[in-house]
Amino acid sequence: MKGIVFSLAFLCSMTVDAQREELIKYADFEQWLKRDIKESGIIGGETRILYEIAPGAHWKKENGKQNIPYTNQGGSPWATSNVYARVSGINKTNASVYPDKHMNGCCAKLETHVEKVKVLGLVNISVLASGSIFTGQMIEPITNTDNPMSKMDLGMPFAGRPTAIKLDYRVKLTNEPNRIRQTGFSKVSTVPGKDMPEMLVILQQRREDVKGNITAKRVGTLVYRFGESTDGWVNGRTFNINYGDISGQPFYRDNMKLLNGASRIYVRNSKGVLVPVDENGWAEANAIPTHAIVKFDSSCGGAYVGSVGTTLWLDNIKWVYKQ
């Protein structure tokens, strides 16, 4: 009799704690689109391949798709920091996200490196670039280096309330005590604190007024920095999402603050115009989001800041829900 009671109790506890997992579209990283971008002759004229997280294809000169600005393909919610730039008539690329091997399939590799621009054999500009993937769209071609956030339409429509996000990952840190800031237009400077990859999951409730202005309230928050190198892969780790106003919680840190002012993001409104969005408050803990920002960076600290060689590998990114 006791065995029957124990079994029933165990089954009930399994029901209470049952979870459902949902892969974010294309976040198994088994499909990649390749595109050829031919850089301008004055900087070498090399044809470089940029990888995008989308149905497999190859955009190249032979099919009339060389040097085509990228827009998300096949319903993929993902954009990357692999970008095509055209500044003052010169075509240039940056590549910092690549497919790599994981188990019997593919994963995403995000790497921090220095991108150099050479003119007539001389190094004119060297810029530190981190690898990044995010839900949203990169606005190409990039025409200047001002205000990097204004080059992204950040986030995707989303109305779920997951309890967590789950993923496989691998981390390689340089263990340099400090980072550098290298913009290409000023001297390299030191930024205190070691470099580490960062995960950002922000659930927002957005509203648009009749003029096309958009405001947002923060519904859910997850910010995590990968502070140690891993010994191989960490598979199936779960990270909790916190709802409502977390500013008074013991785990709250400055990098979890509302995105406004200098940290504001940009999104495309219903009129097709890219507009700045300030998060103007915390939503109620039971609020339903309208959009989700999921963003991974190989380096923390913002644009042009990091340590060369910091690397993050990602695979099988999923939402976790209570049944």
Residue 251: CB atoms within 10 Å? 10
| 172, 218, 296 from 260: Cα distances, Å | 31, 11, 20
Instruction: Give the pLDDT confidence score for residue 165 in this predicted structure.
Output: 98
Decide: helix, strand or coil at residue 256: helix
Give the DSSP H/E element, type plus range, for residue 94.
strand 90-94
Yes or no: say if 229 and 171 are a contact pair by the CB < 8 Å rule: yes
Q: What is the pLDDT of residue 146?
A: 80
Q: Of residues 165 and 142, which shows the higher confidence score?
A: 165
Average pLDDT rounded to a whole number, residues 15-40: 91
pTM of the model: 0.92
Strands 291-297 and 198-208: what pairing? antiparallel
What does residue 150 show for φ and ψ, rounded to 5 degrees?
Answer: -75, 0
The pLDDT score that the predictor gives to residue 120 is 66
Domains along the sequence of the chain with CATH: 23-322 (2.60.120)
**85-116 confidence digits (pLDDT tens):** 988 888 999 999 999 999 999 999 999 999 98
